[in-house]
Structure 1
Amino acid sequence: MPFFNEVPEVGNLVKIQVKGENHSPHPHREYYHLRKMQAFKASLIKKHGSSASPSPQGEGGGPSPSPSPSPRVYHVTAFGADPTGKTDSTDAILEAMAAAFGGPTERFLMEGIANLGGARIDLQGGQYLISRPLRFPSAGAGNLLIHGGTLKASDDFPTDGYLIDLSSSSSTRKNQQNNKTSFNAQLSSSSFNYEYITLKDLMLDSNFRGGAISVINSLRTSIDNCYITHFTTTGIQVQQGHETYIRNSFLGQHITAGGDPGERNFTGTAIVLAGNDNAVTDVVIFSAAIGIMVSGQANTLTGVHCYNKATGFGGTGIYLKLPGLTQTRIVNCYLDYNGIVAEDPVQLLISNSFFLGDGYVVLKSVNGVAIGVNIVDNMFSGSGKGVEIVQLDESKGPFKEIDQVVVDRNNVKGMKMKATVAKGAAQGNGTSWTVDFNGVLLFPNLIRDVQYSLSTSGGNGFPSHVLRNSSENRVVIESNVAVPASVFVTVSQGVAIS
């Protein structure tokens, strides 16, 4: 068997002698082992953090490429943060944030937004006590990640504040003003505060002292795999801006898995979407008075499980508060003992969702408008108390402008079906047949389309018949002569006749 005999280094090279029975030295084999030992030596130098000596020349005699610069990772403990949570780490984390903003930038984001190159603020798996909101030192930057730890509000944290506040800071440190006057002047032209900020793998404990995350007028923000609890105002607030994505996260005022004895006293709102084009995906809201409050346009909710304060105790899973301009899609969600409220909905889709425990949908009249509403292909499971799956709140006035409203194809167990499309039948021997749809149709005194057929087995020939009336959600069919007949009727409330 061959063996290797290492001799002392000469310069930067390690000479390898190869010996073995019936094996004469071979130049290619010797070169291979030389390169292998050089690579092994380099790995040891890297592992122990020593300064590497100049790399050997390449095969062609030219210098090897210079090593790439280290990634910009800011460990908060290096700035003095206490990972045990025993002392205040606010200043230290703010210094880490300022350092991240002080690095080199490029101009590959929106105009006026500096690209920080993917800089990372690493919480290193620690728990940090915070006494005031963490704000970036200035607006106008992006491509930054904060991740990997726990932030907890101190007992004197402001009750109207947020642990992480992505809003434009009202003041900038003097040293930053001195060093970056021209930089900040360029940033001021942007209409957004930040772009492509990612908050990931965080636990945020508001300690009943306000909220957790505030995103104000920012673009393409990601909140991913976060656990947010003990808020009193709002867990995540999104205002203005564009495309904030909240994913794979858990929010609750009190930590519970359901059936909490204090459920009646849950307060606060887990998520507020007061901006456009945002998405909440695969999120659990386990305690709050309101799960998600939407007051912006074109938002999407999918895979959301709300079992916050039950509707029976005054809670709401999802509240759409944008009368006359809803434009919201709620798909594949789970409303667990609570429901959805939509004020004057316009362009609303609720589909493929599951409502448990008498959870239902409320269309609430503010100005009497319901246009382009589709509540289809959902499952409702209740307690057998006759709770209607879709209800109207007309306490402020009736719905007057109704068009393209479709409530249909929902399957129901233990609750009362409501729809805008219905079928019925009547039988009798006479000249008049009435089919009453009040038990099924959603809107009172509104039938816009009727289709019917009359089948008779009498021997008096084929009678003349006509739709006589469809008011009060009752369809009346009459014939000119008395016959034994069956009448089959289909009605729709949905589309206004122009």
Structure 2
Amino acid sequence: METKMQRNALVLSLQVCFLIIFLTHVSGENSRFDDHFHDQKRKMQAFKSSLIRRELASSPSPSPSYYSSPAPSPQTVTVDSTRVFEATSFGADPSGKLDSAEALEKAIAAAFQGPKEWFLMDGITNLGGAQIRLQGGIYKISQPLKLPAGGAGNLMITGGTLLASDDFPTDGYLIDLSSSSSSSSYNYEYITLKDLMLDCNYRGGGISVINSLRTSIDNCYIAHFNTNGILVQKGHETYIRNSFLGQHITAGANPGERNFSGTAINLMGNDNAVTDVVIFSAAIGIMVSGQGNTISGVHCYNKATGFGGTGIYLKLPNLTQTRILNCYLDYTGIVAEDPNQLTITNSFFLGDAYIVLKSINGVAKGITIVDNIFSGSNKGIDIVQLEQSSGPFKEIDQVVVDRNNVQGMNMRATIAKESVQGNGTSWIVDFSPILLFPDLINHVQYSLSVNGTLFPNYALRSVSENRVVIESDVAVAAKVFVSVNQAVTI
């Protein structure tokens, strides 16, 4: 039907065109009829247009295949929600009044019933991105939420609050990623804990990640722990970012600060990263006893050093291999035991916060402490200190403490420059107020500038107890310039 009507409209259009051409030709031969024929021509053209409009208006829409290429038709997007598990669907109480531990465990168990034909690491089943959604509720739990037996990954728990009940075990964790059995060398892989608040109710810890791979803890708020806010043990590549941790919810200057306890983040594994995290109350902000960890953009004001607190404690003698970058140590400092391959740079130390190098077996190697800002209260506190109660540092190699910006504290460095002026045959330059290690100068450069016409012979006579002595063969008025270095390999 549509094709026939289109064909009729086309034939009619051609007939009208032929008639107009004929009339035009006739009018050209007989000038007496010009006005008459021009008038007829305009009328026929108008008649033609009206016929075409009527024909098109009465016919269906043209076929896409006839006039143009097919336009894409709207598509209905179907969201497959079979791998999304909502806590309330399993009977969890989002008001925080009833115990939801059993219901949440059912949701977790259901999420683990995913496809079995896809894998991440060998023995780790890919759950396909299953999500357990807490739907913005507060869920009280009386026991740790443990994932089923290991060997699964690609799972997210997100969007709500977990609250430990008054009978929650004091040695447990609200979310426990540990497993006693697994066919893989790791318990879990690619587990994401996101947009969660964990209130431990002073009954235990927040999150435990044991022997897992590529775990992500993102945008979490963990409070009221009495052991660890986050514990990472064995495994590797746990990333903790954009999160807030504190035993007590405070914004500083808390009257109970002396009694803060617990550790906000305890890294007992390798190759982890803590990035853009605030630790606002705990005895220790971050405890590190694994290798190859990175700490960046962290603000620690957990417990002031004056009250016995530590911002970052590196407890891995002679195997440190830690980078601390762009951090803010706020009235609480850094302690490193027998540091070996340690970098602390571009960080801010406020309120007389400082760095302690602690001798366990007397090792200090590969240390770089540069380009930091130290701000104190003019109490004579050194920016970097040595703790040698267990014995002095004996193996000192490639230690660079330099280019730090210091106000209200005592500068300490391994590189120093000084000049003295006098009239005589001897010039003594004392570097002991600034050099970090006592009685250790590995390299000396010096020059002597003489006033007058004499050209004396002069030489370095001694280097002892971080003092340099320059002598000349005749008395002259001169200025001596000396630079020393403790960082050169000995």
**TM interval, short-chain normalised:** 0.7 to 0.9
- Indicate the larger mover: 70-79 or 92-101: 70-79
Distance (Å, rounded) in 2 between the aligned partners of 1:414 and 1:25: 90
Give the unaligned 5+ runs of structure 2. 1-52
1:470 pairs with one of 450, 460, 463: 463
Tell me the residue number matched to 1:394.
388
Indicate whether 1:262 and 2:296 are aligned.
Answer: no
Distance (Å, rounded) in 2 between the aligned partners of 1:148 and 1:278: 24
Give the unaligned 5+ runs of structure 1. 1-18, 47-66, 171-187
Tell me the residue number matched to 2:153.
142
**1:39-86 CA-partner distances (Å, limit 9, x unpaired):** 6xx97xx9xxxxxxxxxxxxxxxxxxxx67544001111111000010
Q: Give the deviation of 1:229 after TM superposition.
A: 0.1
Alignment identity in percent? Answer: 73
Between Structure 1 and Structure 2, which shows a larger proportion of helix residues? 2
Tell me the residue number matched to 1:192.
186
Please show how residues 434-449 of structure 1 align to structure 2 within 5 Å.
434-449=428-443
Distance (Å, rounded) in 2 between the aligned partners of 1:425 and 1:136: 66
Work out whether residues 235 and 251 of structure 1, in 8 Å CA contact, stay in contact via their aligned partners in 2. Answer: yes
RMSD: 2.0
Tell me the residue number matched to 2:118.
107
2:349 pairs with one of 344, 350, 355: 355
Distance (Å, rounded) in 2 between the aligned partners of 1:87 and 1:29: 63
Tell me the residue number matched to 2:421.
427
Distance (Å, rounded) in 1 between the aligned partners of 2:257 and 2:263: 14
**1:2-37 CA-partner distances (Å, limit 9, x unpaired):** xxxxxxxxxxxxxxxxx99982223338999xx99x
1:343 pairs with one of 327, 332, 337: 337
Indicate whether 1:202 and 2:213 are aligned.
Answer: no
Give the SS at the match of 1:87: strand
Tell me the residue number matched to 2:217.
223
Tell me the residue number matched to 2:58.
24
Tell me the residue number matched to 2:37.
none
Work out whether residues 105 and 117 of structure 1, in 8 Å CA contact, stay in contact via their aligned partners in 2. Answer: no
> Structure 2 counterpart of 1:232, which letter?
N
> Structure 2 counterpart of 1:297, which letter?
Q
Distance (Å, rounded) in 2 between the aligned partners of 1:333 and 1:21: 77
Indicate whether 1:373 and 2:367 are aligned.
Answer: yes
**1:436-474 CA-partner distances (Å, limit 9, x unpaired):** 001100000000000000010233x31111111111000
Please show how residues 307-326 of structure 1 align to structure 2 within 5 Å.
307-326=301-320
Indicate whether 1:166 and 2:177 are aligned.
Answer: yes
Give the SS at the match of 2:268: strand
Tell me the TM-score normalised to structure 2 length.
Answer: 0.86
**1:182-201 CA-partner distances (Å, limit 9, x unpaired):** xxxxxx43110000000000
Distance (Å, rounded) in 2 between the aligned partners of 1:25 and 1:334: 75
Work out whether residues 106 and 117 of structure 1, in 8 Å CA contact, stay in contact via their aligned partners in 2. Answer: no
Indicate whether 1:92 and 2:86 are aligned.
Answer: no
2:479 pairs with one of 486, 492, 495: 486
**1:210-269 CA-partner distances (Å, limit 9, x unpaired):** 100000000000000000000000000000001000000000000001111111110000
Distance (Å, rounded) in 1 between the aligned partners of 2:237 and 2:392: 35
Give the SS at the match of 2:203: coil
Q: Give the deviation of 1:292 after TM superposition.
A: 0.1
Tell me the TM-score normalised to structure 1 length.
Answer: 0.84
Distance (Å, rounded) in 2 between the aligned partners of 1:103 and 1:422: 63
Work out whether residues 230 and 264 of structure 2, in 8 Å CA contact, stay in contact via their aligned partners in 1. Answer: yes
Distance (Å, rounded) in 2 between the aligned partners of 1:237 and 1:145: 18
